[in-house]
Amino acid sequence: MAVVNGARVAAEIEIAALGKVFGQGEAAFHALKNINLKIATGEFFTLLGPSGCGKTTLLRVIAGFEQPSTGALAINGRQVAGQGPNKRPVNTVFQSYALFPHMTVAQNIGFGLKMLGKPRSEIDATVAEMLRLVRMEALAERRPSEISGGQQQRVALARALAPRPRVLLLDEPLSALDLKLRKEMQGELKRLQTETGITFVFVTHDQEEALTMSDRIAVMSAGRILQLGSPDEIYNAPVDRFVADFIGETNFLTLPVAGVSGDQAHLDLPGGTSAPARLPAGLAAAPGSSVTAVIRPEQAEIAPAEGADLTAEVESATFFGTDTHLHLRLSDGQPFILRRQNRPGQPPIAPGTRLGLVLAPGALQVLRD
């Protein structure tokens, strides 16, 4: 059983204390370190992290292209150590698509079923269904070299879906597409996942893509999973400095702890007031000590100086169309970025202006550090 966003569901993939080492001795490189992960059936699960953090390696371990150096991996409740990729109910959509250049679109899509020894009639029926699913009926007899990048991407998807795998692994499948096509394919992928009910493990280094598409996200860095949670948790309650920094824009504030009650801390703000902040699980912050807390730029609002949580002076303003970023300096000298929604007729705020700020309730999150 895996717990996903509070609900208990059957685990499709179970990874325990998994590590992967490339090379030996002096040259040994730990690409994955102590990965623990349960992915639920039918979940859209995303691995998010910067280049070189081990996303592809983890995906290749699940697919069976690499064997783990330590730890255990179970798919659908069965240990798969030592099993080759052709023995696992898992298919991959490769980053480079890896379509077979000597086969037509239809032959590419039917390849997996052919290898499984399915009868001709069943293969033809499934291929036709897949072509319809990815809207490629008209191009079934073309070769991969004769279709566009976005179309190749859809064929790669159809080819991996055709054998009805339990799990689909997608390694940055959209990174080669331009922005417009990318948005379109994001919707398409989500639709396919809902329609087929297949578990998706999706790799990306695009945080926006991860936030919009996923049921849950694992943020990785240097071979480790730093935080695992729903997009909302990852965005609004990052427990790790790297996670907070990697996803979106955020303000880091160093603040003294006034008191602790349960998983809440009260932090002293520069203006003399105090505000509640969430503590990460297992972190004991001693009153009097300093912690790092984060708050998103849109979680504070301009208010009259009296009764405000904070006061700050405007240093500069950057116009972004839908909103303006105000670069502020708090009364104790710490920088603070405020995102202010642009409205017609709203007077501009000049540098040097002094402002009061109120923080949205529950907006402050303490980091594990």
Partner 1 sequence: MGGNGWKWLLCAPALVVLVLAASGPLVIVAIYSFLSPGNMGGVTWEFSTEAWFRVFFRRDIFEPDLVTWNTANLAIFWRSVWLSIQTTVICAVLGFPTAWFIATRSPRSRPFWLFLITIPFWTNLLIRTFAIQEMIRNNGTINTVLLWSGLIEQPLQMLFTDFAILLGMAYVFLPLMVLPLYAAMDKMNLSLIEAGYDLYGSRGAVLWHIILPLVKPGFIAGSILVFIPAIGAYVTPRVLGGGQSLMLGNLIALQFGQGRNWPLGSALAMLMLIVVVVALVIYLRTVGRSDGERRV
The binder of partner 1 chosen from 92, 126, 186, 251 (CB under 8 A): 92
Q: Which residues contact 46 (CB under 8 A, 6 or more apart)?
A: 201, 202, 203, 204, 210, 213, 214, 216, 217, 218
The 10 Å Cβ neighbour count of residue 69 is 15
Q: In angstroms, give the least distance from the CB of 206 to Mg ion.
A: 13
Site for partner 1 in 95-114 (CB under 8 A): 96, 98-104, 111-112
Q: In angstroms, give the least distance from the CB of 189 to partner 1.
A: 19
Quick one: which of 138, 95, 130 has its CA closest to 113? 130
The 10 Å Cβ neighbour count of residue 85 is 15
The binder of partner 1 chosen from 145, 261, 289, 322 (CB under 8 A): 145
CB contact at 8 A, 365 and 359: no
- Tell me, by CB under 6 A, how many residues bind ligand ATP: 13
* Smaller CB separation from ligand ATP, 54 or 297: 54
Q: Is 94 in the site for partner 1 (CB under 8 A)?
A: yes
Q: Which residues contact 25 (CB under 8 A, 6 or more apart)?
A: none
The binder of ligand ATP chosen from 38, 88, 159, 205 (CB under 6 A): 205
Residue with tokens 């290898």: 115
Quick one: which of 79, 63, 60 has its CA closest to 16? 79
Quick one: which of 113, 104, 65 has its CA closest to 88? 65
Site string for ligand ATP, 10-39 (x = CB under 6 A): ------------xx-----x-x--------
Maximum CA extent, the chain? 77
Q: In angstroms, give the least distance from the CB of 108 to ligand ATP.
A: 24
* Smaller CB separation from Mg ion, 58 or 113: 58
| Tokens representing residue 95 in the block | 């980053």
Q: Is 164 in the site for partner 1 (CB under 8 A)?
A: no
Per CB under 6 A, residues contacting ligand ATP are 22-23, 29, 31, 49, 51-57, 205
Per CB under 8 A, residues contacting partner 1 are 63-65, 84-86, 90-92, 94, 96, 98-104, 111-112, 115-116, 143, 145-146, 159-160, 163
